[in-house]
Amino acid sequence: MVVRESGDRRLGLSPAPYELAGALDGSLTRDGLGVAEATRRLKDEVLAQCLRVDHPAFLAFVPSAPDPQSIFADQQVSAAAVYAGDWKEAAGALYAEQQVITLLAERAGFPSTATGTFVSGGSAGSLSALVTARHRWRTADPARAHDRAVVLASHDVHSSVAAACNVMDVELLLIPTDKNGCLTGELLAEFVDTLPPATRSRVMAVVASVGTTNAGAVDDLVAIGSIAQAHDWWCHVDGAYGLACLISDELRHLARGIERADSFIVDPHKWLFAPYDACALVYREPGYAKAAHGQRAGYLAALSRHADNDAFVDPGNLAFQLSRRARGLPLWFGLASHGTAFYAAQVEHGVMLARWTAAQIDAAEHLELLIEPVLSVVLFRRVSWDAAQYERWSTELFDRGIGFVVPTVADGQPALRMCFVNPETTLAHVGAILDTLL
Ligand SMILES: *Cc1c(COP(=O)(O)O)cnc(C)c1O
């Protein structure tokens, strides 16, 4: 059954609910529609009515561009009916997933104690890391058992960190960035100096970003890591998008200081060419995570007897999860098939596109580049446009099938951004979009 037709990559569709109702109502019946009709509906009505995030002119948000090898492996994972929650049931899958975690950990300069797991996305990854951080903070001093912990991060930190803090009932304090959208050591230190002692003593973690979603900015991990260490705070790095740079020898220096973090995340479904959904969550040292996570019950006892053989920690002991798909295997298979150099070249392609686009914008009088791109996000303005003009332009671009680029906000003002992750995006795609801004 072919549900993927790579020729058919349209933008410009957003059917109204009543159109889908006409096509899909009555799908779920007592006796079934039969495979042929169900297949037709799946292909022509369900999947054809979804945007393809791997359209080469899809430059909104952080797109995704799954590699055919990864997609193949993803299908194998489903077909093999693997329960990847523990070693007894999925030793092979966990071993292979750990190879990917180890590759990322080594490239980050983590010690050989590093371990990790794959969760559904960056949101689940950061939540799990912060739960670990709080557990460590509370166990370090029993007097903190009922204190509300504090997390520090920059204003540009991803919304999922605020969501995680909300779930945990943790206070999140946001720190203004510099003009490049970065949290620097100086800004962090100044902010900490202004905190009342009673608040400062409740800080349990700082979250730094490699590749903020809006600007692709990279925080100063070296300085932030050493401040965190001096205060005995957990340092978590959100690299859901940007830590893909670890795979490239040319670009990994951008994440300098990552070796000081206690945990980091990177989403293979963003810039590492795996299908949804996967986030690699990596810990410098598994002990704290093991203490914080893990479910215990009589019906699980048979599993925990096998858990934690020396080298492998069961995934449920590292994150908020129990049953799980072996969602790291698509990336493992892609890396095993193509090699890391292929991945590096694809990530470098995105950075090249961003630099080229920034140069075009810089040279155009009607456009204003807001931040020199470091990774593959370009943030810019069309001189003298207001929010309504951006909206109209974006809608028309989409409807005409030229591209998907949506307005954002930078420094409180409307702006545009493009994010390049797709190796099939060409200069011609970007040029065609820029031409419409004249
Ligand atoms: C996308 C993103 C997240 C959230 O990841 P999900 O996989 O969507 O949950 C977190 N941080 C950054 C920087 C992101 O770009």
- Determine what percent of the chain is predicted with pLDDT higher than 70: 96
Q: Where are the beta strands (DSSP E) in 54-202?
A: 115-119, 150-154, 171-175
Helix intervals (H) in 80-156: 87-107, 122-140
Q: Quick check: helix, strand or coil at residue 280? A: strand
pLDDT at 36 over 70: yes
Beta-carbon neighbour count of residue 16 at 10 Å? 8
Predicted pLDDT of residue 78:
97
Task: Please name the residues in contact with 395: beta carbons below 8 A apart, sequence gap of 6 or more.
Answer: none
CB 379, CB 372: distance < 8 Å: no
What's the rounded Cα separation, in Å, for the pair 327 and 277?
A: 7
Using a 10 angstrom Cβ sphere, with 0-12 exposed, 13-18 middle and 19 or more buried, the burial of residue 125 is buried
Residue 164 has which token pair? Answer: 């995680």
Task: Please name the residues in contact with 237: beta carbons below 8 A apart, sequence gap of 6 or more.
Answer: 207, 208, 209, 210, 221, 243, 255, 258, 261, 263, 264, 265
Question: Which of the residue ranges 90-104, 212-226, 300-314 would you say has the lowest mean pLDDT?
Answer: 300-314
Q: Is the CB of 279 under 6 A from ligand 1?
A: yes
CA of 198 to the centre of ligand 1 (A): 31
CA of 153 to the centre of ligand 1 (A): 15
CB 265, CB 123: distance < 8 Å: no
Beta-carbon neighbour count of residue 358 at 10 Å? 20
CA of 123 to the centre of ligand 1 (A): 6
**Nearest ligand 1 atom to alpha carbon 270:** 1
What's the rounded Cα separation, in Å, for the pair 154 and 157?
A: 5
| Whether the bond into 277 is cis, omega within 30 of 0 | yes
CA of 35 to the centre of ligand 1 (A): 36
Q: Reading across the β-sheet that carries 171-175, which strands appear in turn?
A: 115-119, 279-283, 263-266, 234-238, 203-209, 150-154, 171-175
Q: Is the CB of 267 under 6 A from ligand 1?
A: yes
Give residue-wise pLDDT tens across range 45-77: 999 889 889 999 999 999 999 999 999 999 999
What's the rounded Cα separation, in Å, for the pair 93 and 117?
A: 11
Q: Give me the helix-helix angle, 340-363 and 329-338, nearest 10°.
A: 90
Q: Is the CB of 158 under 6 A from ligand 1?
A: yes
Q: Which of 241, 266, 269, 376 to mutate to test the pocket of ligand 1 (most atoms within 8 A of CB)?
A: 241
Helix intervals (H) in 285-328: 286-292, 301-304
> In this structure, which residue's CA is closest to atom 5 in ligand 1?
122
Beta-carbon neighbour count of residue 74 at 10 Å? 23
Direct distance between the N- and C-terminal alpha carbons of the chain, in angstroms, rounded to an integer: 45
Predicted pLDDT of residue 429:
97
What's the rounded Cα separation, in Å, for the pair 24 and 9?
A: 21
Question: Tokens 């680029």 — which residue?
Answer: 405
As a whole number, the mean pLDDT across the chain is 95
pLDDT at 2 over 80: no
> In this structure, which residue's CA is closest to atom 7 in ligand 1?
121
pLDDT at 79 over 60: yes
Q: Where are the beta strands (DSSP E) in 292-404?
A: 367-371, 377-382
Q: Nearest to residue 325, comparing CAs of 169, 118, 129, 152?
A: 118
Q: Is the CB of 67 under 6 A from ligand 1?
A: no
pLDDT at 6 over 50: no
CB 401, CB 11: distance < 8 Å: yes
- Determine what percent of the chain is predicted with pLDDT higher than 90: 89
CA of 158 to the centre of ligand 1 (A): 7
Q: Is the CB of 315 under 6 A from ligand 1?
A: no
List 281's β-bridge partners, or say none: 117, 265
Beta-carbon neighbour count of residue 341 at 10 Å? 11
The answer to whether the Cα torsion of 317, 319, 322, 323 is positive or negative is: negative
Task: Please name the residues in contact with 14: beta carbons below 8 A apart, sequence gap of 6 or more.
Answer: none
pLDDT at 437 over 90: yes
Beta-carbon neighbour count of residue 290 at 10 Å? 18
CB 334, CB 327: distance < 8 Å: no
CA of 267 to the centre of ligand 1 (A): 7
> What dihedral angle (degrees, nearest 10) is formed by the CA atoms of 237, 405, 5, 118?
10
Predicted pLDDT of residue 182:
98
Confidence of residue 264 (pLDDT cuts 50, 70, 90): very high
CA of 64 to the centre of ligand 1 (A): 12
